[in-house]
């Protein structure tokens, strides 16, 4: 293959092929017993609980800023009453999933890449392998599954907090009741907004988990490679979040 492509393109193709094979192995092993339930629950805690604070603050600020920015724009047209609708559609369909996805790619993706990269460098993954335990099942399957299931929950939670942030911003300037604010939101949002936006978050979560595990498992020897694994995990999974989002928008537009 090296003869036909420039070196940099060849490297990218090798990475894509490696990532594809890693994903195929995940689907082959995820349903096959034995199941690492204890480690899976530990990863749910690691990924969910430990990202809770960051996602809360980010979500709140997104909603708060979005509402504050919308007021001066809509006020001259007398359309400030549309702000709850605007915030809810913007957050649920696009801003909430993408921003939270990127935050998770940074926090969770780098964490997985660095942890597994460090285990690879210190031969802990090899030690699992030679003691007849399956490190892929114990380390990768649990982390990818936890990321694929927890990140959508974190995103739904971030969306809710963002709307509360928006409500607070509106109340600083005017006086809107919580009931009115949320009744406007629920009047505006449809299943066509919520379902595609939620489905794409599973892809975000899966991608963040699989890229982090792949880079960690394939870290080369030396401490420098731990940093590289963490860094490239964030770069690739962030890029993939954007790419998945673009694909999801296209598919949503075709279907709905």
Partner 1 sequence: METNGIVINIKNLKKSFGSAEVLKDINLQLGLGETLVTLGKSGSGKSVMLKCIVGLIKPDSGTVEVLGRNISELSYEELQYKRKKIGFVFQSGALYDSMSVRQNLEFPLIRNSKLNSDEIDNRVEEVLNDVGLIDAIDKMPSELSGGMRKRIGVARTIILNPEIMLWDEPTTGLDPETTREISHLIVRMQEKYKVSSIVVTHDMICARIVSDRIAVLKDGSYIKTGTYSELEKTEDEFVRSFFEEV
Of residues 116 and 150, the one with the C-beta less far from partner 1: 116
CA dist., res. 22 & res. 25, Å (int): 5
Are 200 and 243 contacting, i.e. CB atoms less than 8 angstroms apart?
no
Residue in 168, 156, 170, 157 with CA at minimum distance from that of residue 82: 170
Q: Is the peptide bond before 111 cis (omega within 30 degrees of 0)?
A: no
Of residues 132 and 254, the one with the C-beta less far from partner 1: 132
How many residues contact partner 1, by CB under 8 A?
Answer: 14
- Tell me which of 127, 195, 243, 246 binds partner 1, using CB under 8 A: 127
CB of 132 to partner 1, least distance (A): 4
According to the binding rule CB under 8 A, does residue 41 interact with partner 1?
no
- Tell me which of 124, 198, 231, 252 binds partner 1, using CB under 8 A: 124
CA dist., res. 98 & res. 94, Å (int): 6
Cα 70 to the center of its chain, rounded Å? 26
Tell me the two tokens of residue 49: 């609980």
Please, which residues have CB within 8 angstroms of residue 94's CB and are 6 or more apart in sequence? Answer: 197, 245
Contact range with partner 1 by CB under 8 A, out of 122-130, 169-177, 194-202, 248-256: 122-130
According to the binding rule CB under 8 A, does residue 187 interact with partner 1?
no
According to the binding rule CB under 8 A, does residue 6 interact with partner 1?
no
- Tell me which of 45, 69, 72, 129 binds partner 1, using CB under 8 A: 129
Residue in 117, 108, 142, 109 with CA at minimum distance from that of residue 233: 109
According to the binding rule CB under 8 A, does residue 134 interact with partner 1?
yes
Residue in 201, 197, 200, 243 with CA at minimum distance from that of residue 19: 243
- Tell me which of 1, 31, 37, 130 binds partner 1, using CB under 8 A: 130
According to the binding rule CB under 8 A, does residue 218 interact with partner 1?
no
Of residues 14 and 246, the one with the C-beta less far from partner 1: 14
According to the binding rule CB under 8 A, does residue 29 interact with partner 1?
no
CB of 74 to partner 1, least distance (A): 51
Question: Is residue 224 classed exposed, middle or buried when 0-12, 13-18 and 19+ CB atoms within 10 A define those classes?
Answer: exposed
Contact residues for partner 1 (CB under 8 A)?
34, 119, 122-124, 126-134
């Amino acid at each position: 293959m090296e003869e036909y492509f420039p070196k940099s393109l060849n490297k990218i193709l090798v990475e894509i092929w490696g990532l594809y094979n890693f994903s195929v192995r995940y689907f082959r092993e995820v349903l096959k017993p034995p199941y690492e339930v204890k480690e899976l629950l530990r990863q749910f805690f690691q990924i969910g609980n430990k990202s809770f604070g960051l996602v809360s603050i980010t979500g709140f600020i997104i909603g708060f800023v979005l509402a504050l920015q919308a007021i001066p724009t809509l006020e001259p047209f007398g359309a400030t009453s549309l702000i709850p609708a605007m915030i809810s559609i913007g957050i649920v369909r696009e801003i909430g999933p993408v921003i939270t996805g990127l935050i998770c790619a940074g926090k969770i993706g780098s964490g997985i890449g660095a942890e597994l990269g460090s285990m690879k460098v210190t031969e802990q993954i090899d030690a699992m392998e030679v003691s007849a335990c399956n490190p892929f099942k114990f380390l990768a399957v649990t982390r990818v599954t936890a990321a694929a299931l927890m990140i959508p929950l974190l995103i739904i939670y971030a969306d809710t907090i963002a709307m509360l942030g928006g409500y607070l911003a509106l109340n600083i300037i005017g006086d809107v009741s919580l009931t009115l604010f949320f009744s406007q939101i629920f009047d505006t949002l449809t299943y066509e907004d919520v379902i595609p936006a939620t489905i794409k978050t599973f892809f975000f979560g899966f991608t963040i988990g699989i890229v982090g595990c792949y880079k960690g498992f394939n870290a080369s020897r030396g401490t420098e490679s731990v940093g590289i694994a963490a860094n490239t995990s964030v770069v690739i999974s962030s890029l993939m979040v954007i790419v998945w989002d673009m694909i999801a928008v296209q598919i949503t537009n075709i279907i709905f």
